Amino acid sequence: MHREQNGAAAYFGATVRQRDLGSATIVEKLHEPGELLPRHEHVRPYLSFVLAGGYREETREGSTSCGPGILVVHPAGEPHADVFDERESRLLVVEPGPELLTGLVAEAYTRRAVIDAPWSMRLVDRLRMEMRTADEVSPLVVQGALLELAARVLRRPSSSGRRPAWLQEAHRVVLERFQTGVSLTGLAEEVGVHPSHLARELRRTYGVSVGELVRRRRIEYALERLRSNDASLAEIAVDCGFTDQSHLTRSFRRVVGSTPGEYRRRIGTNRRAESPAS
């Protein structure tokens, strides 16, 4: 699992793309439907972000469902096993360089953290961009992103104990039904708890309400669609669950910081730049 390749670890799964940017090594991986990773551990801390698909991870603390948009900080030496969903899954794995793991920053990467927040999506998108269009400034940009993550992890309130099964189920249901949306009352009834208790625990654990979680997942899916096909913005808006293109644009700008059209043009420019013909 953790053999060294040019100073960085080799990870399970098929490598789609890998870049060593000095301050970190970034790897995009594909995992087959139903793939099982036996219990193992890593000699260095790393981050994993679900771009598509998902998996269930078993650790000493219990079981965690990791779907699209979930960022996990894995400390070094943490035993864990993974079972992937019945669909192809794509992950981004980031291993900070040794020079970054000093002082207070190192402390952040010695704490396991499961993060489900809009800022993590922006951060990962920034890392993917630098991975695709690496230049002499990329190591500095990547270092800044990882320092931002460390600061946010250190400021997160620590949670004790494992997440209850009903809360993990509620989280999974919201992520799966983001296109049609779910009501707090209906979701609470489905998982067998009171709506106010569900709302309180969901926000305490994941930092968002049901509505915010649906909105964030829609934006993540919009990002996937914008990166992977040439469908019109209106088609993408409806497919993601937005009422129309203007609704998508307002929500997208608020989370990502640009319009869908601007984002698509930037991605197109980057793809042309990394093409062998360019």
Q: What is the pLDDT of residue 276?
A: 44
DSSP state of 67: -
Residue 190 has pLDDT above 80, yes or no: yes
CA angle at 130 for the pair 278 and 248, rounded to the nearest 5°? 95
SS3 11: coil
Domains of the chain: 4-155 (2.60.120.10), 165-273 (1.10.10.60)
- Would you say 39 and 81 are in contact if contact means Cβ atoms under 8 Å apart? yes
Other Cβ atoms closer than 10 A to 19: 18
Mean model confidence pLDDT for the chain: 82
pLDDT on residue 119: 75
What is the structure's pLDDT at 10? 62
> In angstroms, what CA-CA distances link 208 with 17, 31, 117?
32, 29, 8
Residue 208: pLDDT over 50: yes
For position 272, what pLDDT does the model report?
A: 46
pLDDT of residue 6: 41
Residue 181: predicted pLDDT: 82
pLDDT band at 188; cut points 50, 70, 90: very high
Per-residue pLDDT band at 274 (split at 50, 70, 90):
very low
Counts of helices then strands in the chain (DSSP H, E): 10, 12
Tell me the CA distances in angstroms from 76 to 38, 49, 90, 109, one per residue in order: 17, 17, 22, 8
Burial class (CB in 10 A: 0-12, 13-18, 19+), 76: middle
pLDDT above 90 as % of the chain = 16
Q: How far is CA 242 from each of CA 59, 210, 262, rounded to the nearest angstrom?
A: 36, 16, 18
CB 170 within 8 A of CB 191: yes
Where does residue 262 rank: exposed (0-12), middle (13-18), buried (19+ CB within 10 A)? middle
Q: Is residue 5 pLDDT above 70, yes or no? A: no
Instruction: Considering only residues 87 and 269, tell me which one the structure prediction assigns the higher pLDDT.
Output: 87
pLDDT higher than threshold 80 for residue 209: yes
pLDDT at 43 over 60: yes
Q: What is the pLDDT of residues 68-80, one digit of tens each?
A: 778 888 988 888 8
pLDDT over 90 at 67, yes or no: no
Average pLDDT on 163-174 reads 86
For the stretch 241-260, pLDDT in tens is 999 999 999 988 887 778 89
| 37 burial level (CB within 10 Å; 0-12, 13-18, 19+) | middle
Give the tens place of pLDDT for each residue, 98-123.
Answer: 888 887 788 888 878 888 776 777 78
